[in-house]
Structure 1
Amino acid sequence: MTLNCFLKTTALAALTAAGGMANAQDVTLRIQTHYATEHPSGKLAAQFADDIETMSGGEIAIEIFFSSSVVASTETFDAAINGILDCDMTSGAYQTGKNPAFQFVGDIMGGYDTPWQQLSWLYYGGGYDAAQELYNAQGMQLIGWWLYGQESLSSAKPIAGFEDLKGWKFRSPPGMETEIFQELGASPIVMDFTEIFTALETGIIDGADASGLYNNVGLGLYDIVKHATYPGFHSMPSDHLACNKDVWDGLSEKHRRIIDTAMQKLTLHTALSNEKKNAEAAAELTAAGVTLYDWSAEDRAEFRKAAQTTWDRWATKTPEAAALVKSHKAYLGQLGLLASD
């Protein structure tokens, strides 16, 4: 090798090394989710992390803690506030104890019919700014949502319309849902998610609000009960990605854009994949003798009316709750989904 050739090769190696140093990982984000690695949503979260690492050229590393392995699911938000984690990938609905307004970013019951409508409120209906005030007051930054669509009610008896709710004993999560269903004559029983199967099996409850149709199949609910609502109408929970605001503000604009883009991809594929899986589950359940009920427009309107009456009570709890209810109502009115008196 000539001296000239050697110098060129050495210079190229030095430039390559310098470029490698410039692209070296300089951000690590610790994120906790309540989903397990093998759960469909857990797999999508893993893809989300890979997308960020790939798009950033390795400048951002994402460390995801699955199955709430660091702290309990409901404590994830505080863990991010206090620096134990950087971001929370669970649900805003877990934080209603901090402020009832979190109900209206976690599960806007009786509101939107589709995930696309709910997401359009966030991105195009003023929702992002309204919600951001709530998060920022806690020292957190809302990055985005990932939601899988309407949940299905499962029942041991027919549940064809709101009249069938009278006296219906079912598992309910805590919070606003119990008030709505009580107003319609049902008997919601708050119990942990893990207790549903045994409670159905022993007849303690007649049914359950657990998850979407596909997920309910995975839980084995339809081995016990043979009735379900589909497509659902009552609940469409949105999981969030929320990060410690100081951590988020400390990222470069480039890194924030990458994370936001990856989040929007996660949002799209969460809704799309669950729509496909729910449709497949519906066909399989129908063939297996499970009866699925698509509530009429009139019965849906009755439920929406009861839900939005409950919203108004919750709106009196804090100014932030009032602001979010006002925002949702304005946008639902534009979509023609606001309950009429």
Structure 2
Amino acid sequence: MHPRKAVTALAAAAALLAAGTAGAETNLVYSTYVSQGSSSNLQYEGYLDELSRRTDGAVKVQDKMYMSALMKAGEHLSGIGQGLADVGYFCTGYTPAALPLTSMAEMPYVTEKGDAVSATLAELYESYPPLQKEYEKQNVVILAFDAPSATIIGVDEPVSSAADLKGLKVRAYGEVGNIVGKAAGMIPVPMSTADIYTALQTGAIDGYTGIPLWMPGPENWLPHTKTIVAPGIGTYYTCGLAMNKDVYDGLPQKVKDEIAKMRREFPAKSIEYVRKGDAATVAKAQELGVDFYRFTPEEVAAWKQAIDYEQLKADWIESRQARTDADVAAFLQTYRDTLAKHIPQSSYEQKFPE
């Protein structure tokens, strides 16, 4: 047996024992592909610590793996399902074919209110069976969806208008890469966030996009950044914390009930990490003399028109419908209706220096 699978098998066995023995523990291996100090990691380490407290130690993290030490970014969802880790961080954009419904929530130009997006996904995960089913197919259970924030573009060049971005090579992610390519004439370069630092150092790229504002600070990209740009694309990613379903199934019911409560509570907690991370990146950027530029409404509208947004939506529905038996158009409408309910409760705003 593979050593990692052996560890997970023991964790699953411990979980089964916990279901029938008072005081037993489930010891987990946690994996992520981001750095220890990033907001996406800090919020989930905080989640797991809180889960341990709220279950009186019935669930504990035994080992933590950072920066793709155990699995690469695109391997996390399937790897957790296979038992290479018990619990871990994943982002839909690395495996969109496996999560066609979830990926519809990554559609650009919808909202910048990430807490509303995560609250919507948490609600639909429990109330819309086809959404939960696509995770069951991966043999995982969602513990939480984190709050996404609007994408930025960071480049090692001065920027005072959208036109200044033309021709620059930037790390890309999902549909954002297509947008900057079509609308700005930028050159998208697909790569994991783990590879951005080296690519900036070597000049393989001029910058990055498909990145939240909180990320350049802890990832140390700011020394290679002259301007941070807000292009008005909106949220663009859906990420979360997943648990191996075999491990989850072995947990006591009281632990499962606590997980359900925490899943609904997490969007409001996640957005606080986003807000603090944003502020930290802005402060560090100002210390290093990085400039900030926010697109004018006219520039936002021009980009949206350049990509033919209505055709983009139709293409998204068609491509995802080929990957699922669920009605994608119906899900998109349900998602938009549910999102509209949560947006007025949002507390988030992406803030740049005045």
**TM-score, normalised relative to structure 1:** 0.75
In 2: Cα distance, 1:47 partner to 1:214 partner: 17
Q: Which runs of 5+ in 2 are unaligned?
A: 1-19, 345-354
Deviation at 1:190, TM superposition (A): 2.0
In 2: Cα distance, 1:60 partner to 1:198 partner: 37
Query: Relative to 1, partners in 2 of residues 1:264 and 1:101: Cα closer, same or farther, differing over 3 Å?
Result: closer
Query: Relative to 1, partners in 2 of residues 1:256 and 1:172: Cα closer, same or farther, differing over 3 Å?
Result: same
Per the alignment, residue 228 of structure 2 pairs with: 228
Deviation at 1:216, TM superposition (A): 0.9
Bigger Rg, which one: 1
Deviation at 1:56, TM superposition (A): 1.1
In 1: Cα distance, 2:30 partner to 2:181 partner: 37
8 Å Cα contact 1:169/1:188 also seen in 2: yes
Deviation at 1:282, TM superposition (A): 2.2
Per the alignment, residue 187 of structure 2 pairs with: 187
8 Å Cα contact 1:33/1:64 also seen in 2: no
8 Å Cα contact 1:110/1:303 also seen in 2: no
The AA in structure 1 aligned to 2:154 is: S
Which is worse superposed, 292-301 or 243-252? 243-252
- Give CA-to-partner distance per residue, 1:310-329, whole Å, 9 cap, x none: 34212212324555444444
**TM-score, normalised relative to structure 2:** 0.72
Which is worse superposed, 120-129 or 218-227? 120-129
- Give CA-to-partner distance per residue, 1:290-314, whole Å, 9 cap, x none: 2211223343344456366434212
8 Å Cα contact 1:222/1:290 also seen in 2: yes
Per the alignment, residue 315 of structure 2 pairs with: 313
Q: Sequence identity, in percent?
A: 20
Query: Relative to 1, partners in 2 of residues 1:276 and 1:241: Cα closer, same or farther, differing over 3 Å?
Result: closer
Per the alignment, residue 58 of structure 2 pairs with: 59
In 2: Cα distance, 1:273 partner to 1:332 partner: 21
Per the alignment, residue 109 of structure 1 pairs with: 108
Matches within 5 A, 1:1-341: 23-67=22-66, 68-98=68-98, 100-104=100-104, 107-123=106-122, 129=128, 131-147=131-147, 149-159=149-159, 162-173=162-173, 175-184=174-183, 185-201=185-201, 203-209=203-209, 211-230=211-230, 233-263=233-263, 266-286=266-286, 288-304=288-304, 306=307, 309-319=311-321, 320=324, 321-330=328-337
- Give CA-to-partner distance per residue, 1:269-306, whole Å, 9 cap, x none: 33213313323432453464322112233433444563
Give 3-state SS (helix, strand or coil) of 2:211's partner.
Answer: coil
In 2: Cα distance, 1:275 partner to 1:231 partner: 19
Which is worse superposed, 253-262 or 62-71? 62-71
8 Å Cα contact 1:149/1:275 also seen in 2: no
In 1: Cα distance, 2:192 partner to 2:85 partner: 25
The AA in structure 2 aligned to 1:71 is: M
The AA in structure 2 aligned to 1:176 is: E
Number of corresponding residues? 314
In 2: Cα distance, 1:192 partner to 1:133 partner: 27
- Give CA-to-partner distance per residue, 1:225-279, whole Å, 9 cap, x none: 3111249644443321223344434434311122234445554333213313323
In 1: Cα distance, 2:298 partner to 2:45 partner: 41
- Give CA-to-partner distance per residue, 1:150-171, whole Å, 9 cap, x none: 2321123344554444433322
Which is worse superposed, 232-241 or 301-310? 301-310
Deviation at 1:121, TM superposition (A): 2.4
Give 3-state SS (helix, strand or coil) of 1:317's partner.
Answer: helix
In 1: Cα distance, 2:125 partner to 2:77 partner: 23
Q: Which runs of 5+ in 1 are unaligned?
A: 1-20, 337-341
- Give CA-to-partner distance per residue, 1:184-214, whole Å, 9 cap, x none: 1332122343443454455443321263334
In 2: Cα distance, 1:117 partner to 1:308 partner: 23
8 Å Cα contact 1:31/1:64 also seen in 2: yes
Give 3-state SS (helix, strand or coil) of 1:142's partner.
Answer: strand
8 Å Cα contact 2:114/2:271 also seen in 1: yes
